[in-house]
Structure 1
Amino acid sequence: MSTIKRLCERAEAHALHDQQREPGAEHFLLAALDLPDGTARLAFERAGAEPDALKAAIERQYGDALLSIGLTVDTPPDMPVSANSGAYQAAPSGQAIMQELAATRRDHAPLLGAHVVSIVAAMPQGVAPRALRALGVDPVILKSRADAIVGTSGR
């Protein structure tokens, strides 16, 4: 349970940094890279990707989306966004991550960052898949590498 808590807290911190109250799949992917087990980072490296480049690729996706509607990102807002009060909430893509983790919970114990990477790599659309493509990451290879790490960890 502590890994889920840490994952959710880090995802929320990444979302708030991006001026969003509810974390999406991209924030869970960044949070997986933060987990101390190191398996998310390892999956990226084995797929030939630089894990530390993900944050900038995600930020580019936000900027590109704003440009597509004629807006630009000049400076961050003066007022930081605060977390939602009450029960933890994630954006729909973040909810999909949590639902998939819950659905496959019996298949793995404990939760690893590579589990999250595998789920995100299988997503067909959204900020996270676009960011992966911007990095030149083949999602099929990334998922394969993440699944292999999960398999060798005995979970």
Structure 2
Amino acid sequence: MILDNEAEIIPGTHEILSGIPDIHLNRSRCPYPDSLTPADGIGVANWHDGGSAIITYNGTGPRTVYYGFSIDSITDPETTEMLVVNSVEWVQDRASIKGDLNNDGTITATDACIALQIAASGRWDRSADINEDGVVTALDVLMILQEVT
């Protein structure tokens, strides 16, 4: 596969791609990308020709993510960070409680305050994105507050 100066990967709906609307690559940082063929895994993001650019495996062995490109070729640093963080969290299979942002095991007003800070900053956090729409907003804060006992 030969890339133009910049190429786009079409992300699917897998949780490692949560909050990532698109992925653009810089060819100078990734001159030889690969189209992956999943044997036991599934393709979760594709090149424009339909080949898999990212594959995840969740079988009998450890969870694994394969990229058919150099991760540092992603042109947007925030997208790079989000993809890496999402991938690591998925591989580690973190089973955190949605809304428990300080990881104390309970949902409190403190968690809502943390979610409000995340929403105001424009950042994204899987545990704060209660309605799983890819962004943290005041609606997520409200949903956390509704869980406060």
Q: TM-score, normalised by structure 1?
A: 0.29
Q: Between Structure 1 and Structure 2, whose CA radius of gyration is higher?
A: 2
Q: Which has the higher helix share?
A: 1
Q: Which has the higher strand share?
A: 2
